[in-house]
Amino acid sequence: MRKGFTLILFFLISCTVTSQKGVKIGYIDTEYILENLSEYSEVSERLESQAQSWNSEIQKKKREIQGLKEALNSERILLTKELIEEMEQEILIEENDLEEFQQRKFGPNGDLIIQKTQLIQPIQDQIFNAIREIAKSKNYDFIFDKSSDLVMLYSDKRFDISDQIIQTISRSNNRKKLDSRREKKEFDQQKRQEIKMNNDSKFDLREKNRENKIQEKDNSNRKLSVKELLEQRKQKNSANKKGKD
């Protein structure tokens, strides 16, 4: 059914191209584009690391269950029927828990699929935006995906715009990185200015405190001098009085 639809679609396109001059068609290879984007490589590495971590947990749990089974087999003749049934039930519970964990992490709706969708969606959006940008700027009427279910019976390399998509996305990401570095630089400069202003304020405050202390000391000295002067005058008056007597 799908192949029949594909052939019909290509037939209609061929008719359109034949009947209308100037129709411009291009195609992309999404797999090729993703393989050449550093962002996709980073996402793949993160997902692979997470999958390995979960697999390690699964293998550890399998070894624990196998250990329980071996222990039960080696001690079976020494155990009562009730203890055997209890251990078998415990093993069954552990196996069910392990199966649920595997489904929760690697199932069709598991965490790995969810994370992959969340991480790859922004990259897919970038590809779509780049396709739209190139289609508008270079007047493409149709752009197909060679990696999709659409069967490419023949494709001429000169109509492959995958490298243009990669260049467009790379330029966009470089601009974002440049803007990010510029924002970081501006933030650092602002931070340095704030630190300098705080340091200047602290310095001014220390200087003001020092000046106040000097002023207080000068005032104290002046007060002491006045007191001494009054004492001197008092002594002088007293001496004059004795002289008159």
Question: Which 3-state string (H, E, C) describes 101-162?
Answer: HHHHHHCCCCHHHHHHHHHHHHHHHHHHHHHHHHHHHCCCCEEEECCCCCCCCCCCHHHECH
Tell me the per-residue pLDDT of 52-103, one tens digit each, with 9 for 90 and over.
999 999 999 999 999 999 999 998 888 888 999 999 999 999 999 999 999 9
- Distance (Å, whole) CA 38 – CA 78: 61
- Distance (Å, whole) CA 78 – CA 188: 73
pTM of the model: 0.57
Provide, rounded to the nearest whole percent, the portion of the chain with pLDDT above 90: 28
Tell me the per-residue pLDDT of 169-201, one tens digit each, with 9 for 90 and over.
888 888 777 766 666 666 566 666 666 666 666
Tell me the per-residue pLDDT of 22-35, one tens digit each, with 9 for 90 and over.
788 888 888 899 88
